[in-house]
Structure formats: structure tokens, C-alpha cells
A and B are shown apart, each in its own frame.
Chain A
């Protein structure tokens, strides 16, 4: 069945460092891809999405490009802030939403 694999955490970075969180997927057909962010004690917030190959989703300085040839949707940000500390989930929707296990990011001042 469809699945998402994302890089294990935790990831610890200094403020203003470059962030990459890897995400690869397995799916038949053409799923939509998403990144969600979860702050402590809260539900998931949609961060960005891409619905077809080569689409780039972006929001709040975060970006991810839908790469069908490598079945990947890596999350990047050029300069992280302390407020970006959270758990990030990669997900696909191919008529059923499937999530990765999440990657915890801690940004230190």
C-alpha cells in the first residue's frame, strides 16, 4: 500500500541554519503531497502542498518540490528561527491520507 518515509529525528539546528527534512513516498498513481507542522499540545497545521509533479509548495519560507522521478518531497528552509521548533509530518493523499512518523526539529538561539 501507499506509504511515506521521512528522515528520523530529532534534528537540532542553530538559528539561521539551513534546514532539510527528507521525505520519500511509495504510491500508485498521482497522489497529492503535503507537509504539516505540529506544535506541542496542538493539532496538525497545513504548512504547504503540491498536487502534481514538479509543483513547488511554499509557505512561511519553507519550500518543497514534488519530484516524481525520485518519489520525494523534501522540506527546506533557508534560515530557521527558534519559533520553527515543532514536529513536521510529510503526508500523501491518494484517496487516503497517509503520514510519515514525523521529524522533531529544535532550533536553538
Chain B
């Protein structure tokens, strides 16, 4: 089945450690996105990528880094510079504009807890 996978579903880390969250899609979508969601809040955009080897900062990129070496993969690294990393992280993908639908398809999310 086509879709987006994120792993793991739950992740625990000690403060000061970098951690990388995985996101893979087999929908053949050009664009991919990372969001952060805090309790009772909407989604805030961290980074997005419209094409392989290119990505742009979203609204809250500080303390995060990404790479887009393959169309299917868009890993997010939460660095020790991120002051409040505990959150629910969602990855999404979408076709490029002009390729039909505009909706974003979401993965199941990774809940990161840093203590």
C-alpha cells in the first residue's frame, strides 16, 4: 500500500543528545514537510522540501536540520540546540503544484520525549 511511514512511534532521549526522526513515502510525491505539534496546538512548519536536494526553513526551524538526498526520504534531526524538543512530530508529503491534488498526506507521527 502507498503511504508515509514514520519511525519510531515513541522516542525517548536525554537532554543534550541529537536525535533523527525517520520519514519515508512511496507516493511518488515531490514535496515533503515536517511539522511539530504541541498539546492543544495546531501544526507548526519546521522545514519543507519541494524537490530532491533542496529544502526551505519553515516558521520554527531553529534547532532542527533536514536532508533530502532521495525523493522518498526526508529525515529530521532534532539537535541539542532545540530548547523544547518534547513534542509530537508529523511528516507529510504532497504532489507538486500543477500535478493535480494539493492535499498533504500525513504519516502516523513520532512522539519525542526529552528528559
Q: Are these two chains actual partners, yes or no?
A: no
B contact residues vs A (CB 8 Å cutoff): none
